[in-house]
């Protein structure tokens, strides 16, 4: 199980990394860049928000506010009131991140449901069921597992062995934190 986790972690990391590096080279989509100017009410003109797709150098009142609502001599005064900001974002990064995150959460939820509901049903007939034990016997259980499953070296058996070991580890952690409150108060 841990190799699967390793692989998926690396995949997720590389996926996000790739999406980080690629947009830097590709052209930004039209919608991802904008210059936003907020102009408050002035005399008898109501407040308005103007957006336009210009470069950062041109992100000022003169280039973005069109059509200019005031006559020529008033433009400077009006523009002093307006606040212009250049903003950019990467919509692909957002989309990929959110969808990847949701899929990982979904996968974990499914695995959790499997572990809690379906796994005990499968293992009921299994001769390798772990007896309930306290911590002192965990050494013996580990040896028991190793000896019982050590006979087969197929992929499935190895995965199962790794999964059993992981389950014991999590159980011990759970005891330390939740039951005996030895760690993490």
Phi (first) and psi of residue 112, to 5 degrees: -65, -45
- Whether 164 contacts 149, CB under 8 Å: yes
Q: Which residue, 26 or 104, has its beta carbon nearer to another protein?
A: 104
Is 132 among the residues that bind another protein (CB under 8 A)?
A: no
Please list every residue from 40 through 69 that binds another protein, using CB under 8 A. 40-41, 46-49, 51
Among 13, 110, 148, 159, binds another protein (CB under 8 A): 13
Q: Which residue, 112 or 148, has its beta carbon nearer to another protein?
A: 112
Report the SS3 class of residue 46: coil
Nearest to 53 by CA among 70, 37, 38: 37
Angle, vertex CA 166, rays to CA 164 and CA 170, nearest 5: 120
- Whether 57 contacts 63, CB under 8 Å: no
Q: Tell the residue number behind the tokens 């009142």, with chain if given.
A: 61
Calpha distance 181→175 (Å, rounded): 8
Q: Which residue, 124 or 181, has its beta carbon nearer to another protein?
A: 181
Is 178 among the residues that bind another protein (CB under 8 A)?
A: yes
Instruction: Report the interface residues with another protein, using CB under 8 A.
Output: 2, 5-6, 9, 13, 16-17, 20-21, 24, 31, 34, 38-41, 46-49, 51, 77, 80-81, 83, 85-91, 93-95, 97-101, 104-105, 108-109, 112, 115-116, 166, 169-170, 173-174, 176-178, 181-185
């Amino acid at each position: 199980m841990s190799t699967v986790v390793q692989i998926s972690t690396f995949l997720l990391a590389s996926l996000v990394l790739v999406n980080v590096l690629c947009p830097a080279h590709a052209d930004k989509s039209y919608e991802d860049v904008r210059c936003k100017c907020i102009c408050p009410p002035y005399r008898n003109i109501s407040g308005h928000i103007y957006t336009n797709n210009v470069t950062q150098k041109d992100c000022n009142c003169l280039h973005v506010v069109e059509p200019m609502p005031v006559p020529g001599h008033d433009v400077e005064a009006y523009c002093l009131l307006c606040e212009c900001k250049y903003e950019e974002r990467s919509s692909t990064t957002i989309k990929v991140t959110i969808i990847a995150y949701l899929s990982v959460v979904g996968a974990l939820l499914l695995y959790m449901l499997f572990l809690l509901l379906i796994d005990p049903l499968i293992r009921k007939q299994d001769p390798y069921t772990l007896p309930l034990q306290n911590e002192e016997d965990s050494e013996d259980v580990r040896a028991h597992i190793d000896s019982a499953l050590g006979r087969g070296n197929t992929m499935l058996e190895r995965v199962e062995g790794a999964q059993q070991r992981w389950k014991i580890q999590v159980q011990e952690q759970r005891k330390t934190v939740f039951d005996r409150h030895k760690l993490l108060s």
